[in-house]
């Protein structure tokens, strides 16, 4: 990279990050997206809106989330100091709530009485149901039938919060199919419905808007790290499915070129087996769900099934800004396997008393590899994007325990 | 003159409207499609829209989603669809054929290769559902150069300003989606459609087809009074689904439905 891009200038007016992003949707959605874009562009500079958002983040979400130095774990790994950005301590247990609080405020401004969402692991669904309950909005959440089965706890949480969970059995019955179904719902009910997309993918303005709502993660982490150590970290690590927690952490550091950025994709059984969910590592550019990005697809351009131990990363695409950051070389995208993820899950739980979500455990698994290659005077921030309670059934099943 | 333009011109001269069926290519199996196309022509259709199966048909309702799944399970691919059109052209050189589908399979093949192979196979136009004119900068010159019509959708929510832009960018005909929603949605308000079609006409010289919600002879007749073409999809695809295990019945069954629509559209008041 010879010349540093002006990161703040992306996306362009059409929602493009280089060749990625954009607005590839049916004409039936163009007006709704234009309306959303106009509303959001006005709100993002509106001090009243921003103050309301900050107040909700502080008093409802519980921000700032701590930046915690995992001293014992760092010592055991014998290299860089590892700091954990504790998004797991947010209300509802993951970073997802930053975005749903923001989008719900937009929905309220637009006067939409009903919100819909897609969800994979259920974290975004829970975060959406939560803000809908608080604002008295009708809420329906689309969830792949397979995910409904493997994330029963979150399904029940959503029901308790007053949301209706609609299982989607079309296609592969996972996150991508839930997103297809939510889009279909939105097209049909666009007059009274706001679609709260849970990641930095989808048609413009979603990747930009969702990123903006999650930037608080990186803004806080940068200030906290400076305060605790007097310097910037050497590397940032975050798991990448759609990539919302990663972009939230990375974005405020893009211009800090000394800070290396690592997005960790779901390697499943290993990239070489084909059974994975790592489009940046094992896919190619294409168009799905309203944006151009890296996709898992076959030679005919059909989207292929993905595999990951973690429902939240089981998605064949990735946010377009990540695709761009990969191509311009600003961020590196790596992957870890299900087995490595599980080992990191167990290790953090035992060594630090923090049980991470399996999604976040992907980033931890890569930290286990990266930290020992670095000096003790160096530091890493890992985004601990969610807590692991929801995954206890999955881990227990692997251990042969049935509740 | 292109096959699409001559088709609409001839119909206009006769005071008739185009009947445009949509079926998913390769549904339920590849062998069904070409005989079905010929049977539809014999039933009186004017243009054939052939759906290119895609794994994630975001803008389609359950009926066409399932058709895509059946076709893919039976081995459908974009190249396979082009081969079907080439086979259809061995016996029919006049009926326009338009491919309707999603961008990604076309991207995977490459715009240039797709446009060239499609025209060589006898395809007249393509409607890429998830490619609005804003994103078509790279595609449009390639289609234009190869002589492949680029057909665009106009929706009930489309502003007049965008109608003009779409009319400018499009070729062949314009496809007015008469309902908010996905394919196969329910109610149809003919008066609202009539108003919209008149608005579109202020901005467009191209013929205007109307689809979504047309499921029988009566709705086809009503739409024929206000538009240049009547697109019928889910009703036919549902009939195909009903006969998926008796595929030899499919051409007759679908042709029967279309013949009723044709007769209703042509009947004088």
CATH number (domain holding residue A391): 3.40.50.1100
Domains in chain B: ranges and CATH: 3-151+216-264 (3.20.20.70)
Sheet bearing A260-266, strands edge to edge: A67-69, A81-86, A379-384, A235-240, A260-266, A331-336
Is A313 inside any structural domain? Answer: yes
Position B14 pLDDT exceeds 50: yes
Whole-angstrom Cα distance, residue B238 to residue A10?
45
Whole-angstrom Cα distance, residue B218 to residue A151?
47
Contact A27 B153 (CB under 8 A): yes
pLDDT on residue A340: 98
Shared domain check, A368 and A260? yes
Q: What are the distances in angstroms from CA B49 to CA A42, B149, B174, B185, B242?
A: 42, 13, 13, 19, 20
Pairing of strands A290-295, A20-24: antiparallel
Shared domain check, A238 and A368? yes
Its ipTM equals 0.95
pLDDT on residue A153: 87
pLDDT on residue B185: 64
Shared domain check, A178 and A70? no
Q: Which of B72, B157, B160 to mutate to test the interface with A (most CBs of A within 10 A)?
A: B157
pLDDT on residue A172: 83
Q: Which of B26, B52, B54, B55 to mutate to test the interface with A (most CBs of A within 10 A)?
A: B55
B159: distance to nearest CA of chain A, Å? 8
Contact B59 A26 (CB under 8 A): yes
**Tens digits of residue pLDDT in A364-374:** 999 999 999 99
Q: Which of A13, A19, A27 to mutate to test the interface with B (most CBs of B within 10 A)?
A: A27
Q: Which of the following is catalytic: A37, A118, A297, A340? A: A118
Q: Which of the following is catalytic: B46, B49, B124, B228? A: B49
Contact B155 A180 (CB under 8 A): no
Please give the full DSSP string across A307-350, using - where no structure is assigned: --SSGGG--S---HHHHHHHHTTSEEEEEE-HHHHHHHHHHHHH
Task: Count A/B contacts: CB-CB distance under 8 Å.
Answer: 121
Shared domain check, A227 and A364? yes
Contact A28 B155 (CB under 8 A): yes
Is A6 inside any structural domain? Answer: no
**Tens digits of residue pLDDT in B42-88:** 999 999 999 999 999 999 988 999 999 999 999 999 999 999 999 99
CA nearest A291: which of A218, A209, A193? A209
Shared domain check, A229 and A169? no
Contact B177 A184 (CB under 8 A): no
Q: Is B60 a catalytic residue?
A: yes
Is A355 inside any structural domain? Answer: yes
Whole-angstrom Cα distance, residue A403 to residue A355?
19
Within 10 A of B57 (CB to CB), how many other CB atoms are there? 27
Shared domain check, A246 and A330? yes
**Tens digits of residue pLDDT in B111-161:** 999 999 999 999 999 999 999 999 999 999 999 999 999 999 999 999 999
- Collect the ranges in chain A with pLDDT lower than 50: 1
Is A3 inside any structural domain? Answer: no
Is A167 inside any structural domain? Answer: yes
CB A280 within 8 A of CB A294: yes
Is A311 inside any structural domain? Answer: yes
pLDDT on residue A311: 86
Report the C-alpha dihedral over residues B151, B98, B114, B89, rounded to 10 degrees: -150
- Residues in A closer than 8 angstroms to B106, CB to CB, are 301
Within 10 A of A26 (CB to CB), how many other CB atoms are there? 23
Domain-terminating residue out of A160, A184, A206: A206
Domain that includes residue A164, residue range: 15-56+96-206
Q: Measured between CB atoms, which of A286, A289, A304 is closest to B107? A: A286
pLDDT on residue A151: 85
Q: Is B113 on the interface with A (CB under 8 A)?
A: no
- Residues in A closer than 8 angstroms to B78, CB to CB, are 300-301
Q: Is A27 on the interface with B (CB under 8 A)?
A: yes
Q: Is A300 on the interface with B (CB under 8 A)?
A: yes
pLDDT on residue A402: 85
A24: distance to nearest CA of chain B, Å? 5
Q: Measured between CB atoms, which of B102, B131, B134 is closest to A14? A: B134
Q: Is B79 on the interface with A (CB under 8 A)?
A: yes
Contact B130 A188 (CB under 8 A): no
Shared domain check, A146 and A291? no
Domain-terminating residue out of A182, A206, A230: A206
Domain-terminating residue out of A164, A184, A206: A206
Shared domain check, A288 and A178? no
Shared domain check, A111 and A78? no
Counts of helices then strands in chain B (DSSP H, E): 12, 9
**Tens digits of residue pLDDT in B199-257:** 999 999 999 999 988 989 999 999 999 999 999 999 999 999 999 999 999 999 999 99
Is A1 inside any structural domain? Answer: no
pLDDT on residue A64: 98
What total of structural domains would you count in chain A?
Answer: 2
Q: What are the distances in angstroms from CA B14 to CA B9, B47, B223?
A: 9, 16, 17
Contact A26 B54 (CB under 8 A): no
- Residues in B closer than 8 angstroms to A193, CB to CB, are none
Position B269 pLDDT exceeds 80: no
A298: distance to nearest CA of chain B, Å? 9
Within 10 A of A149 (CB to CB), how many other CB atoms are there? 13
Q: Measured between CB atoms, which of A27, A170, A302 is closest to B54? A: A302
- Residues in B closer than 8 angstroms to A290, CB to CB, are 130
Whole-angstrom Cα distance, residue A27 to residue B178?
12
Q: Measured between CB atoms, which of B69, B166, B180 is closest to A188? A: B180
pLDDT on residue A1: 46
Whole-angstrom Cα distance, residue B211 to residue B220?
10
Shared domain check, A386 and A255? yes
Shared domain check, A158 and A69? no
Shared domain check, A374 and A267? yes
Is A134 inside any structural domain? Answer: yes
Q: Is A402 on the interface with B (CB under 8 A)?
A: no
For residue B169, give the H/E element and its range.
helix B160-169
Q: Is B58 on the interface with A (CB under 8 A)?
A: yes
């Amino acid at each position: 990279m010879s010349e540093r891009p002006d990161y703040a200038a992306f996306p362009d007016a059409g929602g493009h990050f280089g060749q990625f992003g954009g607005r590839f949707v049916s004409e039936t959605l163009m007006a709704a997206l234009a309306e959303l874009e106009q509303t959001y562009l006005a709100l993002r500079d509106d001090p009243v809106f921003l103050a309301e958002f900050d107040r909700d983040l502080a008093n409802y979400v519980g921000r700032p989330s701590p930046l915690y130095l995992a001293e014992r774990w760092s010592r055991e790994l014998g290299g860089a100091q590892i700091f954990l950005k504790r998004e797991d301590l947010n209300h509802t247990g993951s970073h997802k709530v930053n975005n749903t609080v923001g989008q719900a405020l937009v929905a309220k401004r637009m006067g939409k009485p009903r919100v819909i969402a897609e969800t994979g692991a259920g974290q975004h669904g829970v975060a959406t149901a939560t803000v809908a309950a608080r604002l008295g909005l009708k809420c329906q959440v689309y969830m792949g039938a397979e995910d409904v089965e493997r994330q029963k706890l979150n399904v029940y949480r959503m029901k308790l919060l007053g949301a209706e969970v609609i299982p989607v059995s079309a296609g592969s019955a996972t996150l991508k199919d839930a997103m297809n179904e939510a889009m279909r719902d939105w097209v049909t009910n666009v007059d009274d419905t706001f679609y709260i997309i849970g990641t930095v993918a989808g048609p413009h303005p979603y990747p930009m808007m969702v990123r903006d709502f999650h930037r608080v993660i990186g803004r806080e982490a940068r200030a906290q790290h400076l305060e605790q150590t007097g310097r910037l970290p050497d590397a940032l690590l975050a798991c990448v499915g759609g990539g919302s927690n990663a972009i939230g952490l990375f974005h405020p550091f893009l211009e800090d070129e000394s800070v290396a950025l690592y997005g960790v994709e779901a390697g499943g059984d290993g990239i070489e087996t084909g059974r994975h969910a790592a489009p940046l590592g094992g896919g190619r550019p294409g168009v799905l769900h309203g944006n151009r990005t890296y996709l898992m697809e076959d030679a005919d351009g059909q989207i292929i099934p993905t595999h990951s131990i973690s429902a939240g990363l089981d998605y064949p695409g990735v946010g377009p800004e990540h695709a761009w950051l990969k191509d311009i070389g600003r961020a590196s995208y790596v992957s870890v396997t299900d087995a490595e993820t599980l080992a990191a899950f167990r290790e953090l739980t035992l060594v630090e008393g923090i049980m991470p979500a399996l999604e976040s455990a992907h980033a931890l698994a890569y930290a286990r590899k990266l930290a020992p290659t670095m000096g003790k005077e160096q530091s890493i921030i890992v985004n601990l994007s969610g807590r692991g309670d929801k995954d206890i059934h999955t881990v227990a099943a692997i251990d042969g325990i049935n509740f | 003159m292109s096959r699409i333009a001559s088709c609409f011109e001839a119909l206009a001269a006769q005071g008739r409207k185009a009947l445009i069926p949509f079926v998913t290519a390769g549904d339920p199996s590849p062998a069904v499609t070409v005989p079905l196309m010929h049977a539809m022509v014999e039933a009186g259709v004017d243009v054939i829209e052939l759906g290119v199966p895609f794994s994630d048909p975001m803008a389609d309702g359950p009926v066409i989603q399932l058709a895509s799944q059946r076709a893919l399970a039976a081995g459908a691919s974009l190249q396979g669809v082009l081969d079907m059109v080439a086979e259809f052209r061995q016996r029919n050189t006049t009926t326009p054929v338009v491919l309707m589908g999603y961008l990604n399979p076309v991207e995977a093949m490459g715009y240039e290769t797709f446009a060239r192979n499609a025209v060589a196979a006898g395809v007249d136009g393509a409607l890429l559902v998830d490619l609005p004119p804003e994103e078509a900068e790279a595609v449009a010159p390639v289609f234009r150069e190869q002589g492949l019509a680029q057909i665009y959708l106009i929706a009930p929510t489309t502003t007049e300003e965008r109608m003009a832009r779409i009319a400018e960018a499009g070729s062949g005909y314009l496809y007015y989606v008469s309902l908010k929603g996905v394919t196969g949605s329910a109610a149809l308000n003919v008066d609202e459609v009539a108003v919209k079609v008149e608005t579109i006409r202020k901005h467009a010289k191209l013929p205007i087809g109307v689809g979504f919600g047309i499921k029988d002879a009566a709705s086809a007749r009503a739409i024929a009074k206000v538009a240049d073409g009547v697109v019928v999809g889910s009703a036919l695809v549902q009939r195909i689904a009903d006969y998926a295990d008796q595929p030899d019945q499919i051409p007759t069954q679908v042709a029967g439905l279309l013949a009723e629509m044709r007769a209703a559209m042509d009947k004088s008041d």
